Chains A and B, each alone.
Chain A
Amino acid sequence: DAGVTQSPTHLIKTRGQQVTLRCSPKSGHDTVSWYQQALGQGPQFIFQYYEEEERQRGNFPDRFSGHQFPNYSSELNVNAVLLGDSALYLCASSQTWSYGYTFGSGTRLTVV
């Protein structure tokens, strides 16, 4: 049973470029959340998608946007990336109202 799959695993972008990260949730999960984790820190919540709509959003600028597709997979888009956007981006899936979150291995974004 595949867990959460994220792609790509690593990404290097130049300041000002746009990036798209992808996430396939664990089978049976319908909710996808995205987190940003800087080195040595705990993850920071970006947003959560359920039924193809953004249900909750953390304290991130509008440059960060997302989408959820009918098959529950999700994308995270970051426009005009900044050096400070360099981080590990984690996708977590869950069943609605469930305690359990399953995380992917993340996408390491480096902005140069």
Chain B
Amino acid sequence: TQLLEQSPQFLSIQEGENLTVYCNSSSVFSSLQWYRQEPGEGPVLLVTVVTGGEVKKLKRLTFQFGDARKDSSLHITAAQPGDTGLYLCAVSNYQLIWGAGTKLIIKP
């Protein structure tokens, strides 16, 4: 059983649509990070959320940390082909513990 469960595993939508990716756990975390990874590249940190209920916005991306700090979501508004990639959530405890990722494809 994975510590972090991400859903959906795969999502293919048309440009302009909205989408939400989820990262869930039964454990409580002091913080949670979201990364985006393109093929053949390392993950790039998008955001770190630390406070229960926290909402952070990064242009068309909205990140939310659950009130109980057990889950998080990433919402993309008006998705663009440039948003295509693997989205990973992770928690830090000396090492980064990762979800399996959501592979997102935005079709023009």
Contacts and interface: CB of A to CB of B under 8 A. Distances in A.
Contact of A43 (B48, B94, B98): B98
Query: How many of chain B's residues touch chain A, expressed as a range?
Result: 20 to 34
B101 A41 contact: yes
A105 B41 contact: yes
Contact of A45 (B40, B42, B43, B97): B97
A56 B40 contact: no
A33 B40 CA distance: 18
Best-surrounded residue of B31, B42, B101, B103 (most CB of chain A within 10 A): B42
B40 A4 contact: no
Contacts of A41: 100-101
A106 B41 CA distance: 6
Contacts of B92: 99, 101
Contacts of B50: 99
Contacts of B42: 4, 90-92, 103-106
Closest 8 CB pairs of A and B: A103-B42, A42-B98, A45-B95, A56-B94, A99-B48, A42-B100, A42-B101, A90-B42
29 contacts: A33-B95, A40-B101, A40-B103, A41-B100, A42-B88, A42-B98, A42-B99, A43-B88, A43-B96, A45-B96, A48-B94, A48-B95, A58-B95, A88-B40, A90-B42, A92-B96, A99-B31, A99-B33, A99-B92, A100-B45, A100-B48, A101-B45, A102-B45, A103-B42, A104-B42, A105-B40, A105-B42, A106-B42, A108-B40
